[in-house]
Amino acid sequence: MDWGMQNRLARMFSATSSNSVMLAVDHGYFMGPTRRLEDVRATITPLMPYADALALTRGVLRSSVPPSSTTPIVLRVSGGATILQEDLSNEAITTAMRDASRLNVSAVALSVFVGSPHEHQSLVNLSRLVDDGEDAGMPVLAITAVGKELEKRDARYLALACRVSAEIGAHVVKTYYCDGFSKVVEGCPVPLVVAGGPRLENDRAALELAHHAIEEGAHGIDMGRNIWQSDHPVAMLKALRAVVHEKATVREALDVLDQEVGQTPAPAKLPA
């Protein structure tokens, strides 16, 4: 791996824990103004100091992140379908590698839709992005998207989708935690990070998810709604850092959360 590629990965993954806490705020690219992400700048400003990377689109980067920021960026470069369509898998690459380089990002990300009507197209998109990424020294993060079919999140399916992504050349794969997750890790030769998915019943459930994922071999999280839809997003992010970087137990992470909640009032600006 060339120096530039290694350097970009080292910006996002801790040299000590080998793991990363990525904050995902790219949902608007197909969902529009998602609850508590309506004003992206307001949501991310207090969170950015605690994120190892920020996952977003170029529109949000240019409009809502100060260029003086040093938080590494994972740039979403696929899109082309919205929640108004039944099939979300009809995606293309929507941002050129030269723009990603111009924006000085640390990685580019796209969704692959294994088993969906546009499976072939999304895998060819991945292969082209990897070719461009290798030329530019830019890591590619493949997201094993399930569209609206959340029930697809089982070990057999995710192991297939992750392995195929890695075989095509993705440098990092984002997927979901599931029962039997260690099988997904075992079959994927590149680091895996896990998404949170839709808001779980409470903060504890999200900490449990992260804890199990790390215990079973994930190299971090790339989580959104279970952080910024929490009533205590900063405290939640700090508790997740304890899990991901210090291998904190769920009990220890809840202590971090409680302690932080005691110190930081919930932001008044966010809608209920």
Residue 27 binds ligand 5RP (CB under 6 A):
yes
Residue 223 engages ligand 5RP in binding (rule: CB under 6 A): yes
Q: How far is the CB of 2 from ligand 5RP (least distance, A)?
A: 27
Binding range to ligand 5RP, per CB under 6 A, among 63-71, 79-87, 157-165, 220-228: 220-228
Question: What are the structure tokens assigned to 33, written together?
Answer: 């103004």
Residue showing tokens 């993954």: 13
What are the DSSP E strand ranges found in 27-171?
53-56, 73-76, 78-79, 92-93, 107-112, 140-144
Helix (H, G, I), strand (E, B) or coil at 217: coil
1 or 83: CB nearest ligand 5RP:
83
Question: Residues 121 to 150: which contact ligand 5RP by CB under 6 A?
Answer: 143
Helices (H), 116-268: 119-136, 155-168, 181-186, 203-215, 225-228, 233-246, 250-263
Q: How far is the CB of 221 from ligand 5RP (least distance, A)?
A: 8
Nearer to ligand 5RP, 26 or 216 (CB): 26
Under the criterion CB under 6 A, does residue 220 sit at the interface with ligand 5RP? no
| Cβ atoms 27, 224 nearer than 8 A | yes
Footprint of ligand 5RP on residues 148-207 (CB under 6 A)? 195-197
- Decide if 174 is catalytic: yes
Choose which of 23, 51, 53, 55 interacts with ligand 5RP (CB under 6 A).
55
Distance of CA 87 to the CA centre of its chain: 21
Tokens 């380089």, residue located: 101
Consecutive H or E run containing 60? helix 58-64
- Least Å distance, CB 3 to ligand 5RP, is 28
Name the site residues for ligand 5RP (rule: CB under 6 A): 24, 26-27, 55, 143, 195-197, 222-226
- Give the catalytic positions in this structure: 174
